[in-house]
């Protein structure tokens, strides 16, 4: 089976600094894959190695089966990358930028597709404007367009919505979802965890150059998050021996972490049995931010096999 992206034991050292300490992962074709982690975890380094912008100290990466070093021409044709920084060439217009980028891939009669990309990304009004005159959001869209000019089956987006306003962000996600529906594999890094939770089929979490969690989004939520129960009681202390982990406790306001919904019944029973009255109750479903904080905070590792699980 050919994976869209397959990394095997990728290490990257900059002198004494180890940016990646043996990363292995496989992204299946058609997947929407999230790569999360705090700043400096190695996300951009990993993307740079996948894209051939940087060379791994050891290990190997394949894109659609093509090694990014020994078969770089094929690997790069398969890959579209939207870089994190808002970079542009101030000498050219939007259309020139896209034509040049297309030509770099050896595609010199590509105007029909370029027009389509311009249309879909709503760049038509600015197609002949110099890149310098574009707003940040517009420049971001041109970066996406540049990554698509050669119709790559695999698209990597490195924090594509950083600093982008809400309206544009929604539009961008709609567009990228559409690409995914059409069969493109999407790999995404983002700081907005709700985005990753909403979009990604599977998620890898990186910490200090290692993968500390790699699983389907649903499994991650179930495994790590649990439920958060917020209570206000008619007293300042909780009954002893509750079947839950206390997160905060503040003069009658309590936040408790529950393993699952079964634990809810148990805890409510224990509270009532102690004679306490519940004044307010709120139940928060699992969310990825919670997963993220717990995985990053405790250093717990939960790594599923390198091969992806079946999609949910």
Partner 1 sequence: MGGFPTLLYKELLRFWKVSFQTVAAPVLTALLYLVVFAYALGDRVRAFEQVSYAQFLVPGLVMMSVLQNSFANSSSSLIQSKISGNLVFMMLPPISYVEFFGAYVLASMVRGLVVGTGVLLVTVWFVDLHLAALLWVLAFALLCSAILGALGLIAGIWADKFEQIAAFQNFVILPLTFLSGVFYSIHSLPPVWQAASHLNPFFYMIDGFRYGFFGVSDFPPLASLAVVAVSFALLSAACLLLLRSGYKLRQ
Burial state string for 109-142 with b = 16 or more CB within 10 A and e = fewer than 16: ebeebbeebbebbebeebbeebbeebeebbbbbb
Q: At closest approach, how far in Å is the CB of 128 from partner 1? A: 14
- Indicate the residue among 91 and 261 with the shorter CB distance to partner 1: 91
CA–CA distance, 101 with 97 (Å, rounded to integer): 6
Q: Does 108 bind partner 1 (CB under 8 A)?
A: yes
CA–CA distance, 276 with 281 (Å, rounded to integer): 13
CA 134 to chain centre: 27
Q: Does 46 bind partner 1 (CB under 8 A)?
A: no
> Which span sits near partner 1 by CB under 8 A: 77-85, 117-125, 237-245, 300-308?
77-85
- Indicate the residue among 44 and 225 with the shorter CB distance to partner 1: 44
Q: At closest approach, how far in Å is the CB of 312 from partner 1? A: 32
Q: Does 67 bind partner 1 (CB under 8 A)?
A: no
Residue 97 in tokens: 């930028």
Q: Does 113 bind partner 1 (CB under 8 A)?
A: no
**Number of chain residues interacting with partner 1 (CB under 8 A):** 33
CA–CA distance, 245 with 238 (Å, rounded to integer): 12
Is the CB of residue 295 less than 8 Å from the CB of residue 212?
yes
CA–CA distance, 27 with 35 (Å, rounded to integer): 11
Q: Does 14 bind partner 1 (CB under 8 A)?
A: yes
Is the CB of residue 243 less than 8 Å from the CB of residue 274?
no
Interacting residue with partner 1 among 3, 33, 88, 254 (CB under 8 A): 88
Interacting residue with partner 1 among 30, 105, 208, 268 (CB under 8 A): 105
Q: At closest approach, how far in Å is the CB of 266 from partner 1? A: 54
- Indicate the residue among 160 and 286 with the shorter CB distance to partner 1: 160
Q: Does 133 bind partner 1 (CB under 8 A)?
A: no
Q: At closest approach, how far in Å is the CB of 148 from partner 1? A: 12
> Which span sits near partner 1 by CB under 8 A: 31-39, 44-52, 208-216, 252-260?
44-52
Q: At closest approach, how far in Å is the CB of 130 from partner 1? A: 10
Give the gyration radius of the chain's Cα atoms: 23
Interacting residue with partner 1 among 22, 52, 65, 153 (CB under 8 A): 52
Q: Does 96 bind partner 1 (CB under 8 A)?
A: yes
Torsion, Cα of 208, 212, 215, 218 (10° steps): -90
Q: Which of 71, 67, 10 minimizes the C-alpha distance to 35?
A: 10
* DSSP of 104-146: HTT--S-HHHHHHHHHHTT-GGGTTSBGGGS-HHHHHHHHHHH
Question: What residue ranges bind partner 1 (CB under 8 A)?
Answer: 14, 48, 51-55, 72-74, 76-77, 79, 81, 83, 85, 87-92, 96, 100-106, 108, 146, 150
């Amino acid at each position: 089976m050919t994976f869209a992206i397959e990394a095997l034991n990728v290490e990257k050292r900059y002198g004494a600094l180890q940016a990646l300490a043996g990363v292995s992962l496989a992204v299946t074709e058609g997947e929407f894959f999230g790569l999360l982690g705090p700043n400096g975890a190695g996300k951009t380094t990993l993307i740079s190695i996948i894209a051939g912008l940087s060379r791994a100290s050891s290990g190997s990466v394949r894109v659609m089966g093509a090694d990014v070093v020994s078969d770089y021409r094929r690997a790069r044709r398969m890959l579209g990358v939207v870089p994190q920084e808002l970079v542009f060439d101030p000498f050219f217009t939007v259309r020139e930028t896209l034509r040049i980028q297309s030509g770099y891939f050896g595609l010199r009669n590509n105007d029909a597709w370029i027009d389509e990309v311009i249309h879909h990304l709503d760049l038509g009004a600015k197609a002949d404007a110099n890149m310098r005159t574009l707003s940040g959001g517009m420049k971001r869209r041109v970066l996406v367009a540049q990554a698509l000019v050669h119709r790559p089956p695999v698209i990597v987006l490195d924090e594509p919505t950083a600093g982008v306003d809400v309206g544009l962000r929604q539009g961008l996600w709609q567009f990228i979802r559409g690409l995914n529906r059409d069969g493109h594999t999407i790999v995404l890094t983002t700081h907005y965890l709700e985005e990753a939770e909403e979009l990604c089929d599977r998620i890898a979490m990186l910490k200090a150059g290692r993968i500390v969690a790699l699983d389907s989004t649903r499994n991650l939520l179930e495994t790590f998050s649990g439920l958060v129960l917020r209570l206000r009681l008619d007293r300042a202390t909780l009954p002893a021996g509750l079947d839950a982990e206390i997160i905060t406790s503040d003069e009658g306001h309590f936040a408790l972490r529950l393993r699952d919904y079964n634990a809810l019944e148990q805890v409510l029973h224990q509270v009532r049995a102690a004679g306490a009255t519940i004044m307010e109750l709120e139940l928060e479903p699992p969310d990825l931010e919670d997963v993220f904080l717990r995985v990053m905070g405790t250093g717990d590792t939960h790594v599923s096999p390198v091969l992806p699980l079946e999609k949910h």
